[in-house]
Structure 1
Amino acid sequence: MEVTDVLFEEKGHAGLIILNRPKALNALTHEIVVAMHRQLEHWLDNDRVKHILIKSNSEKAFCAGGDIRQVAENGPDKIDESLPFFADEYRLNAYMESYPKPLIALIDGIVMGGGVGISVHGAYRVGSEKTLFAMPETAIGFFPDVGGSHFLPKLAKHTGMYCAMTGERLKQADCYSAGILTHAVHSKDMAGLEEALCATEDVNPVLARYAFDPGPAPLDAKADVVDACFGAQSTLEVIDRLQKLLGTEHDEFASGALETIKKRSPLSMEVAFQQVRRGAGLSMKECMVMEHRIVSQILLGKDFYEGVRAVIIDKDHTPNWQHSSLSEIKTVDVEAHFMPPKGGDLVF
């Protein structure tokens, strides 16, 4: 069956992956994930293809995430239908992280969730001033998956934990400073950059020619306070450190972070915190096994379905979470997300 939501092309020395669901902001489907994996395997044996470009046909987004509405509509009774999507997505993420040929993501818009998973693990992440990055999953009772446990711990000064817990949206300068982007370019230069990359075997001089310094990153100005608060040993300690900043020069930052965290699923927040801390000591494949364990448990619970209802379906933004606060969470409830699932661990 032909998949038109993602297109493939060979041009010069490059293989092009073109995300082609503009009306859905290129939300990833199971079919897209499988087709991408298959095509990357095909190009691995093609000597003409020296590197891979991943781009979008949408003017607004590179990829806004995974198409989780169908997963939510399946409900907990149809987990066996939902889990294969995540398993194949995680296999793709791991495959891209270890892919022998350079992967170059051309990010000219929104990049969130699943879109991060098909870009951040490659060798080059090139973003324009239209770049808008976030891992907002805890807002829908989910967790920062697609390898979030692998790359978020690598961001300096606990920026990754900050993004995981608050879903903070980062623009070009912040993404470049944090290392999410390897190169910053102007949106108007993206088409020319693509042409030049297709015409060359050595991508580094071309990327250097188009890249520019996006200037000061707003995130850098609060890096030390992010580090001090989100480097805590527990979620409750993060809350405590933020509360101690109320009424100080950092009041605006602290009150904003506390207000955001208060709206999130407490269970998702605790799972995400543990996920990022544990991921720091794991390989990419080990992270994906862990994330598969987490999603297998989350799909059995209530918060994900309630979060999708409140944020995506009804859009009332008043989810009724399973727990009312972080202090209610029991260790056993969290640890269940890190145990092998009934169907067995993810196999690559």
Structure 2
Amino acid sequence: CSHYYVHYIYSAFCFRFNSFKRTHIILQHLGMSKHTNAADEVLLERKGCAGVITLNRPKFLNALNFTMLRQIYLQLKTWEQDPETFLIIIKGAGEKAFCAGGDIIVVEVSEAGKAKQKLAQDFFREEYIMNSAIDSCRKPYVALIHGITMGGGVGLSVHGQFRVATEKTVFAMPETAIGLFPDVGGGYFLPRLQGKLGYFLALTGFRLKGRDVHKAGIATHFVDSETLGMLEEDLLALKSPSRENIADVLEIYHTKSKIDQDKSFILEEHMGKINSLFSANTMEQIIENLQQDGSPFALEQLKIINKMSPTSLKITLRQLIEGTSKTLQEVLTMEYRLSQACMGGHDFHEGVRAVLIDKDQSPKWKPADLKEVTDEDVNNYFKSLGSNDLIF
């Protein structure tokens, strides 16, 4: 199973839900019925000077579901108004993941989308509203991105002011492999990374690990995982801290960290190629660039890209190009349009089937060739939803 699918594969898809159970889960979400253990899936605590959010599903790599999303959002808004809360810390339980994406919710959303049920609208809407709330949060927001951080986990961290990686952090946005696109604001932060790095990460689903997550500009700090507990204690012990006080504590731990300190960025030697080969405005040109280059690195990327949904590749490239000149909120409005178009299309449901349900890893994309994905097809994904648009 290709590692590009890790955040979906790992996220509880060892379960094979029959259609009755799936429908039941969807109905539960639509009614927002309380699961007996819903309160335990995310812990929301006031500690010292901070509000602490702990994603508490370690067995499922802290994958996000609808109930957790709503709980976090409401608590975030409460703490933002609370004069006694000076910062917000978000972390994942266990050693394996901060948050590995969207759990069985991805399958549920696909089922709901096919059945034209409201979950397919509501989940993306509320997730993107949460991403925006993190970006605009008036309190310093510290995400401890220890372990797997993908999909929805990226959305819960990357828009905050401080993102702390460890040697065990694994970052990726592999959505083109399931007929989707790197959402949760990917159209905003990815094109703002150095050179064409964000384009490369988005189109190939390449995984960054450890200190490379900091060197890429996704994390703001890097600390040794064994010091995370002490770092958190030092943050909680601050008295009425300012952003500068918080930054100072993080900087001390970052400076003390010695793991892979002298190692160069994993893509350093390839950045020249990435910047030139991925600078084209069309997928066809990027493919041609890779073919003409012919280096082992270029051919490896070509092999990976050729497995992805041609429609996803085209909408992702345009998403990133358009995102360079938009605010995060404008990007999220655009991405919401894309999400709903994907629900009405073929490839997302086929990708979910092939990767998450049947697990045959052989999606049959329609169209199957880039040349068959017309400009008109792509334009349709970006069309306004009128009164259903996500407006901030």
Place the TM-score, normalised by the shorter chain, in its bin: over 0.9
The aligned counterpart of 1:296 is 340
In structure 1, what residue type is equivalent to 2:252?
R
Two-structure CA RMSD over aligned residues (Å):
1.3
SS in 2 for 1:244: helix
Does the CA-based 8 Å contact 1:79-1:299 persist in structure 2?
A: no
Is 2:276 the partner of 1:232?
no
Find out whether 1:76 has 2:124 as its counterpart.
Answer: no
Indicate the residue corresponding to 2:299 in structure 1. Answer: 255
Preserved CA contact (<8 Å) 1:126 1:184: yes
Match of 1:283 in 2: 327
Alpha-carbon distance between aligned partners in 2 of 1:221 and 1:12, rounded to the nearest angstrom: 45
Trace 1:137-148 onto structure 2 (pairs within 5 A): 137-148=175-186
Q: Aligned with 1:88: secondary structure? A: helix
Structure 1 residue 161 and structure 2 residue 204: aligned?
Answer: no
Paired amino acid for 1:19: L
- Aligned pair partner of 1:117 in 151, 155, 163: 155
Residue deviations 1:263-304, cap 9 Å, x none?
Answer: 000001100000011011101110110000000100001111
Match of 2:213?
A: 175
> What is the aligned partner in structure 2 of residue 347 from structure 1?
391
Secondary structure in structure 2 of the residue aligned to 1:53: strand
Once the two structures are superposed, what CA deviation does each residue of 1:125-170 show, in whole Å capped at 9, x if it has no partner?
0000000000000000000000001100100111110011000000
**Match in the other structure for 2:19:** none
What residue number does 1:322 align with? 366
In structure 2, the partner of 1:28 is: 64
How far is the alpha carbon of 1:343 from its aligned partner? 5.3
Distance 2:158 2:148 in 1: 13
Distance in structure 1 (CA, Å) of the matches to 2:162 and 2:268? 22
| 2:109 equivalent to 1:61 | no
1:75 to partner: Cα distance: 4.0
| SS of aligned partner of 1:125 | strand
Aligned CA distance change for structure 1 residues 262 and 79 (closer, same or farther; 3 Å): farther
Looking at structure 1, the residues matched to 349 and 153 of structure 2 have their Cα atoms a distance apart, in angstroms, of 21
In the alignment, is residue 52 of structure 1 matched against residue 88 of structure 2?
A: yes
Alpha-carbon distance, 1:342 to partner? 5.9
- Per-residue CA deviations over 1:304-331 (Å, capped at 9, x if unaligned) read 1110111111111000001121111111
Equivalent AA in structure 1 for residue 280 of structure 2? A
- Partner Cα distance (1:333, 1:176) in 2: 37
| Cα deviation, residue 74, structure 1 | 2.5
2:27 corresponds in structure 1 to none
Other structure's SS at 1:4 match: helix
CA-CA distance at 1:173 after TM superposition: 2.5
Question: 8 Å contact 1:297–1:341 — kept in the other structure?
Answer: no
**CA deviation vs aligned residue, 1:173-194 (integer Å, no higher than 9, x gap):** 2211111011011111111111
Q: Is the 8 A contact 1:76 1:301 kept in 2?
A: no
- Give the aligned partner of residue 205 of structure 1: 248
Q: Which residue of 2 aligns with 1:96?
A: 134
Letter in 2 for 1:125: R
> What code does the residue aligned with 1:61 have?
A
- Aligned with 2:225 (options 159, 169, 187): 187
Alpha-carbon offset, residue 345 of structure 1: 0.6
SS in 2 for 1:319: coil
- Maintained 8 Å contact 2:62/2:98: yes
- In 1, the alpha carbon distance for the partners of 2:387 and 2:42 equals 30
Q: Are 2:166 and 2:211, in contact at CA under 8 Å, matched by a contact in 1?
A: no
Runs of 4+ in 1 over 4 A off after TM superposition: none
Give 2:326's aligned amino acid: L
Q: Does the residue aligned with 1:8 lie in a helix, a strand or coil?
A: strand
Query: 1:97-141 CA deviation, whole Å, 9 max, x = no partner?
Result: 111111100011000011000100000000000000000000000
> Which residue does the alignment assign to 1:11?
47
**Which residue identity is paired with 2:351?**
G
- Answer whether contact 2:113 2:119 (CA < 8 A) is retained: no
CA distance in 1, matches of 2:221, 2:114: 41
- Is the deviation greater in 295-304 or in 197-206? 197-206
- Gaps in structure 1 of 5+ consecutive residues: none
User: Is the Cα–Cα contact under 8 Å of residues 111 and 132 in structure 1 kept in the other structure?
Assistant: yes
The answer to whether the 8 A contact 2:315-2:381 is kept is: yes
SS at match of 1:318: coil
Counterparts of 1:282 and 1:47 in 2: how far apart (Å)?
32
Distance 1:79 1:333, change over 3 A: farther
Q: Which moved more, 1:44-53 or 1:139-148?
A: 44-53
Residue 79 of structure 1, CA deviation: 3.9
Shift of 1:341: 2.1
Measured in 1, the distance between the counterparts of 2:124 and 2:55 equals 18
Gaps spanning 5+ residues in structure 2: where? Answer: 1-33
Which residue number corresponds to residue 306 of structure 1? Answer: 350
Q: C-alpha separation between the residues in 1 aligned to 2:115 and 2:108?
A: 13
Q: Give distance in 1, aligned partners of 2:202 and 2:117.
A: 25
